[in-house]
Amino acid sequence: MNKKILVTGGAGFIGSHLCEELLKDGNEVVCVDNYFTGSKKNVFHLMDNKNFELIRHDIVYTLLLEVDEVYNMACPASPVHYQFNPIKTIKTSVLGAINMLGLAKRVKAKILQASTSEVYGDPAIHPQPESYWGNVNPIGIRSCYDEGKRCAETLFFDYHRQHKLKIKVIRIFNTYGPKMNPNDRRVVSNFIVQALKGEDITVYGKGDQTRSFCYVDDLVSGIIKMMNSKDQFVGPVNLGNPGEFTILELAKKIIEMTGSKSKIVYNELPSDDPKQRKPIIDLAKKELDWEPKIKLEDGLKKTIEYFDKLLRV
Ligand SMILES: NC(=O)c1ccc[n+]([C@@H]2O[C@H](COP(=O)([O-])OP(=O)(O)OC[C@H]3O[C@@H](n4cnc5c(N)ncnc54)[C@H](O)[C@@H]3O)[C@@H](O)[C@H]2O)c1
The DSSP line for 251-296 is: HHHHHHHHT----EEEEPPPTT--S---B--HHHHHHH-------H
Where does the pLDDT of residue 152 fall: very low under 50, low under 70, confident under 90, or very high at 90 and above? very high
Query: From the CB of 18, is ligand 1 less than 6 Å away?
Result: no
Where does the pLDDT of residue 312 fall: very low under 50, low under 70, confident under 90, or very high at 90 and above? confident
Which distant-in-sequence residues (6+ apart) come within 8 Å of 204 by Cβ?
Answer: 247, 266, 267, 268, 269, 270, 273
Ligand 1 centre and the CA of 12: distance in Å?
A: 6
pLDDT of residue 42: 97
- pLDDT of 169 > 80? The answer is yes
Query: From the CB of 73, is ligand 1 less than 6 Å away?
Result: yes
Query: From the CB of 14, is ligand 1 less than 6 Å away?
Result: yes
pLDDT of residue 273: 74
CA nearest ligand 1 atom 19, residue? 76
Query: From the CB of 54, is ligand 1 less than 6 Å away?
Result: no
Set 71, 145, 159, 215: catalytic member: 145
Ligand 1 centre and the CA of 38: distance in Å?
A: 8
Ligand 1 centre and the CA of 257: distance in Å?
A: 28
CA nearest ligand 1 atom 27, residue? 75
Q: Among residues of the chain, what percentage have pLDDT more than 90?
A: 91
- In this structure, how many other beta carbons lie within 10 angstroms of the beta carbon of residue 189? 23
Q: Model confidence over 28-75: pLDDT tens digits?
A: 999 999 999 999 999 999 999 999 999 999 999 999 999 999 999 999
CA nearest ligand 1 atom 35, residue? 74
d(CA 104, CA 13): 24
Query: From the CB of 212, is ligand 1 less than 6 Å away?
Result: no
pLDDT of residue 299: 97
Q: 145 an active-site residue?
A: yes
Cβ(20)–Cβ(41) below 8 Å: no
Q: Model confidence over 174-230: pLDDT tens digits?
A: 999 999 998 888 899 999 999 999 999 999 999 999 999 999 999 999 999 999 999
Ligand 1 centre and the CA of 76: distance in Å?
A: 4
pLDDT of residue 189: 94
Query: From the CB of 116, is ligand 1 less than 6 Å away?
Result: yes
pLDDT of residue 114: 98
- Of 37, 156, 171, the one to substitute when testing ligand 1's pocket (max ligand atoms within 8 A of C-beta) is 37
For the four alpha carbons of 292, 309, 37 and 142, in that order, the dihedral sign comes to positive
Residue whose C-alpha is closest to residue 71's, from 24, 41, 104: 104
pLDDT of residue 270: 78
Q: Model confidence over 233-291: pLDDT tens digits?
A: 999 999 999 999 999 999 999 999 999 999 999 998 877 677 888 999 999 999 999 99
The helix or strand, by DSSP H or E, that contains position 311, with its residue range, turns out to be helix 296-312
**β 244-246/210-212 pair status:** antiparallel
Query: From the CB of 254, is ligand 1 less than 6 Å away?
Result: no
